[in-house]
Amino acid sequence: MGRFDGKISCLMLLLCGISLFFHSAMAEDDTSIVLREFKLPEYNKETDDLEYIIYGDEAQNVGVIINLKKLKVDWIGKNVNDIKGTVTTPKGVYDRSTKIIKGEDEVHFRSDSMDVDGVGFDADQKKQTIHIRSKVKVVLRGNLMTDGEKEGLKKQTAKDKIKDSK
């Protein structure tokens, strides 16, 4: 009789262990967090400088993936008030491990020097680049010279003024 009770006890423990395993596995699928009207700042790990801020109406976090609705991303320059560019789209998927946001809907990029509209995108937050897949419309405005080119032009203009005054 002792062996029979031992076998039953062992079988009961095994069944309890299996049911706990399946219950915890099922619970992992249900452990997503939903945020409303969120703001997610991201900082450079080496310099602690603010790199970009992700805003939105809703974010559903599932592991390293975040499903975003009414998404807006501000790429930050030297300080918080220096916004280099803004990306907006109705929805996107943000992979926190690669820092890439992807979307299939319309997307808009705005900066001081250009406006870009299109459909479907991949935005790499580390590189601060965006690839727009189709129906791309670009509007360039202002002077598109780099800071180095602007500085060189200022120096050349100053030299020309000195030559003209002699």
Query: What domain count does the chain have?
Result: 2
Q: Is residue 155 part of a domain?
A: no
Task: Of 29, 26, 125, 115, give the one whose Cα is nearest residue 68.
Answer: 125
HSE, CB side, 13 Å, CA atoms: give it for residue 53.
14
Do 101 and 40 sit in the same domain of this protein?
A: yes
Tell me if 76 is assigned to some domain: yes
Do 110 and 78 fall within a single domain?
Answer: yes
| Domain membership flag for residue 156 | no
Lowest mean per-residue pLDDT among 27-31, 105-109, 123-127, 130-134: 27-31
- In this structure, the answer to whether residues 26 and 44 fall within a common structural domain is no
Burial of 33 (0-12, 13-18, 19+ CB in 10 A): exposed
Q: Is the pLDDT of residue 2 over 80?
A: no
Judge whether 8 lies within some domain: yes
Residues 27 and 64 in one domain: no
- Considering the entire predicted model, what is its pTM? 0.65
Average pLDDT over residues 5-33: 54
My answer on whether 18 and 45 are in the same domain is: no
pLDDT at 136 > cutoff 80:
yes
Same domain, yes or no: 141 and 84: yes
Summarised one tens digit per residue, pLDDT across range 32-70 is: 788 899 998 999 888 888 989 999 999 999 888 999 999
Report if residue 108 sits inside a domain: yes
Copy the structure tokens of residue 103.
């979307």
Average pLDDT score, the chain: 81
The tokens for 72 are 């807006």
Indicate whether 15 belongs to any domain.
yes
- Residue-number span of the structural domain to which 100 is assigned: 33-147
Identify whether residues 64 and 21 lie together within a single domain. no
Residue 152 lies in a domain: no
User: Quick check: 165 pLDDT over 80?
Assistant: no
Count the helices and strands in the chain (H runs, E runs).
2, 7
Q: pLDDT confidence of 26, banded at 50, 70, 90?
A: very low
Q: Is 30 helix (H, G, I), strand (E, B) or coil?
A: coil
